[in-house]
Amino acid sequence: MQNLLTKKRKTFRKVVKDSWHGWIFVLPLVIGIGVFTLYPLIQSLIYSFYRYDGLFVNDFIGLQNFVTMFTTDRAESFKVFGNTFLYALISVPLNLCLSYLLAVAVNQKIKGVIAYRVMFYLPVVIPAVVSGVIWSQLFDKNYGLFNDVITKFGGDPFPFFTDKNTAMLSMLIMSLWSLGSGMVLWLSALKNIPAGLYEAAKIDGAGVMTRLFRITVPMSTPMIFYNLITGMIGALQINSTMVFAGDGGRGPDDSLYFVAVKIYHEAFTNSAYGYASAIAWVLFLVIGLLTFVTFKTSKWVYTGDE
Amino acid sequence: MTYETMQKTLIDGNFRKVRGSRVGKIARLTVIYTVMTVFAAIFLIPYIYMLLRALMQSSQVQLIPIELWPRPFTFEAFGQLFGSGGGYLDALWQTMKIVLFNLIAIPLSASFVAYGFSKTKFAGKRVLFAVMLGTMMLPGAVVQIPLYVMFSKNGFNWLDTVLPLTIPNLFGGGAIYIFLIRQYMTTIPYELEEAARLDGANPFMRYFRITLPLCVPVLIFIMITVFNANWSDFYGPLVYMTDGTETLAYRVFKDAIYTYVTPDKANLKMAGGLFMSFFPTLLFIIFQKQLIEGVSTSALKG
């Protein structure tokens, strides 16, 4: 027994001796995750079971916040989740497809192609708040460039962000401005495909479409996979509508009201910290679930070791 | 080659047949350049529209039908924003405090932790790395309310200061940055450190003297990303700051939706936006190669 204990203590000492350098290097991260991620994560789960205004009221109400989301506040909460899913479902694949075309265009070996790449990517580096300002001005009913052109050709002014039926469409158009981010990912994916594959396919008489769907797409699946995951996580958390949607970021008839914006308003406009935390946790679970499912069904991703 | 075959080529889209001939090649290039130039123009129009309207007088931006060319060109809007009472100088100073701090803190802190992950062995390494990657998936909305409550309490009293947007970055600086630097560090051969180790340099000296200087390429990418992210962030300041202490991005946001909503203020909105876009654009044009490469490598390795 005595022997066993000393042996155990020795191994523990040995672990410390071998590890302490490494531990010091990652210590900041451990503290950071603990204080700024883990603690608030648990805290927000606790809040979600309380009616809490951040100062005085602090009542335990069990699952009431989650029930509210599906009952009394149902119209609004379903609307924001619906809007968010709709936007994510359309914008992610749309950007993936159109940015492919852009990448093919700037992947040619011709003079000055770098300059085109720079111009296509430029909108991506422009701050979200600025693109919100620019596009709300471009889309303005009276003073906007788009409606100026439309009316010059004899059309009626298009309402863009000011009508509930056109607001989402306008936002999707606006999202195309940052196609450059998808473009650079496609470019690096294209660069990694061995040219020999195309040569061989050409000799076998494969057409453009066959080459696209039998070589380019399968070889680019790691990038497509990355794009799907990050695009989805990003789209589900969009809050830039606060800049251009009007009505405090809700848009006409809540047509541009997104989950992240509702969480902000519930917490910092209505001081309903508990309810806001509950919505945030539902969003978290949705994102976690979607990511999990995407990873589980990722057999189609080419890993290079087949 | 005749005009007929050229036309046929264009219709068929079958360029290969005539690739050898010079006229065919010119025709093909003309089509490509025309299409790309049209697209480039579409991408640049919003930017140019902002630029032109930022340089107009207030009286000109209210005209219907709209005018595109400023007459006269004026920096009036910038004068109003940055002059006394405009408040943009104070907001810029708040932003600079955050940006400058993070430009130093994040690369140092992230590379320090990344060194631990790539060059040392310790118990619990795999678990910690997995947990760190997991935090990347976490929506900011989940932790933001408790963080706000925490920072507002006595003992912190961090609201209306730059502290919530700076101090947390001392602790690793963000999973994505650690991950990127770690990927880069694993490609550095161990032999370089071995010599220093035999000379008696401890891991901390080896990190600072040998590995860190070799990471400059990835650190440049990270610093540009950090600059853009902190310069552009309106949401963090919106949560943690109120009037008088706001950053530039938050100020532009607030003015766009509350202060400058009337048509006569459109030039001010655009001037604010133009100033906000100036540094990200400049950095991008200077470092476009590193930025585009950095973005794609981070995607492929992640």
pLDDT digits (tens, 9 = 90+) for A163-201: 999 999 999 999 999 999 899 888 888 888 888 888 888
Neighbours of A141 (CB within 10 A): 14
Mean pLDDT of the B235-256 span: 90
User: How many whole angstroms separate alpha carbon B90 and alpha carbon B14?
Assistant: 60
Residue A27: closest CA among B64, B117, B78: B117
Nearest to A43 among B39, B140, B146 (CB): B146
Residue B299: closest CA among A238, A228, A219, A88: A228
pLDDT at res. B38: 92
pLDDT in tens, B133-146: 989 888 899 999 99
The answer to whether B145 contacts A102, with C-beta atoms less than 8 Å apart, is no
- Which residues of B fall within a CB distance of 8 Å from A283? 139, 141-142
Chain A within 8 Å of B104 (Cβ-Cβ)? no
- Which residues of A fall within a CB distance of 8 Å from B283? 125
The answer to whether A127 contacts B249, with C-beta atoms less than 8 Å apart, is yes
Q: Which of A11, A130, A262 is best to mutate for the B interface (most B CBs within 10 A)?
A: A130
Where in chain B do CATH 1.10.3720.10 domains reside? Answer: 80-301
Whether residues A16 and A125 share a domain: the answer is: no
Residue numbers of B between 214 and 273 with CB closer than 8 Å to A: 228, 231-232, 234-235, 238-239, 249, 252-253, 256-257, 263, 266, 269-270, 272-273
Nearest to A28 among B113, B253, B266 (CB): B113
Whether residues A42 and A85 share a domain: the answer is: no
pLDDT at res. A146: 92
**Which residue of chain A has the CA closest to B63?**
A143
pLDDT in tens, A218-275: 888 888 888 888 888 999 999 999 999 888 889 899 999 999 999 999 999 999 999 9
Structure tokens belonging to residue B295: 């973005």
The answer to whether B146 contacts A125, with C-beta atoms less than 8 Å apart, is no
Share of chain B above pLDDT 70, in %: 92
Q: Which residues of B107-118 are buried (b: 16+ CB within 10 A; e: fewer)?
A: bbbbbbbbbbbb
Does the pLDDT value for residue B13 go beyond 50?
A: no
> Is A62 contained in some domain?
no
Mean pLDDT over each residue of chain A, to the nearest integer: 89
Asked whether B223 and B111 are in contact (CB, 8 A), the reply is no
Residue numbers of A between 62 and 121 with CB closer than 8 Å to B: 102, 105-106, 108, 110, 114, 116-121
Chain B within 8 Å of A287 (Cβ-Cβ)? yes
Does the pLDDT value for residue A27 go beyond 50?
A: yes
For residue B281, give how far its alpha carbon lies from the nearest alpha carbon of chain A (Å).
Answer: 7
Q: Which of B16, B122, B265 is best to mutate for the A interface (most A CBs within 10 A)?
A: B122
For domain B80-301, the CATH architecture is Orthogonal Bundle (1.10)
Domain hosting residue A150, numbered range: 72-300
Per DSSP, B173 falls in state: S
> Is A273 contained in some domain?
yes
Whether residues A107 and A188 share a domain: the answer is: yes
> Is A187 contained in some domain?
yes
pLDDT in tens, A61-113: 989 999 999 999 999 999 999 999 999 999 999 999 999 989 988 888 888 88
Whether residues A96 and A137 share a domain: the answer is: yes
> Is A54 contained in some domain?
no
**Distant-in-sequence, close-in-space partners of A115: CB < 8 Å, separation ≥ 6:** none
Dihedral over Cα of A99, A105, A108, A112: its sign:
negative
pLDDT at res. B16: 52
Nearest to A223 among B46, B150, B300 (CB): B300
Whether residues A165 and A28 share a domain: the answer is: no
- Which residues of B fall within a CB distance of 8 Å from A33? 131-132, 135, 171-172
Q: Which of A32, A47, A62 is the last residue of a domain?
A: A47
**Which residue of chain A has the CA closest to B127?**
A30
The phi-psi region of residue A304 (left if phi > 0; otherwise alpha if psi is between -120 and 50; otherwise beta) is left
Using pLDDT thresholds of 50, 70 and 90, give the confidence band for residue B263. Answer: confident
The answer to whether A122 contacts B43, with C-beta atoms less than 8 Å apart, is yes
Does the pLDDT value for residue A6 go beyond 70?
A: no
**Distant-in-sequence, close-in-space partners of A7: CB < 8 Å, separation ≥ 6:** none
In chain A, the number of structural domains is 2
The answer to whether B139 contacts A260, with C-beta atoms less than 8 Å apart, is yes
Whether residues A204 and A112 share a domain: the answer is: yes
Chain A within 8 Å of B108 (Cβ-Cβ)? no
Residue that is written with structure tokens 């340099």 in the block: B201
- Which residues of A fall within a CB distance of 8 Å from B32? 105, 108, 110
pLDDT at res. B206: 92
> Is A158 contained in some domain?
yes
The answer to whether A54 contacts B149, with C-beta atoms less than 8 Å apart, is yes
Chain B within 8 Å of A122 (Cβ-Cβ)? yes
> Is A23 contained in some domain?
yes
> Is A108 contained in some domain?
yes
The answer to whether A283 contacts B142, with C-beta atoms less than 8 Å apart, is yes
Mean pLDDT of the B61-82 span: 88
Does the pLDDT value for residue A306 go beyond 60?
A: no
> Is A55 contained in some domain?
no
- Coil, helix or strand at residue A138: helix
Cα angle B79, B85, B91; round to 5? 85
pLDDT at res. B12: 47
> Looking at A103-117, A142-156, B7-21, B42-56, which range is the least confident one?
B7-21
pLDDT in tens, B143-166: 999 999 999 987 889 999 999 999
pLDDT at res. B165: 95
Asked whether A70 and A63 are in contact (CB, 8 A), the reply is no
Nearest to A243 among B35, B202, B256 (CB): B256
Mean pLDDT of the A204-209 span: 84
- Helical residues (DSSP H) of chain B, grouped into ranges: 3-12, 22-54, 58-61, 76-82, 88-119, 125-135, 140-152, 175-186, 191-198, 203-206, 212-214, 216-232, 235-240, 248-254, 266-286, 288-301
CATH number of residue A243's parent domain: 1.10.3720.10
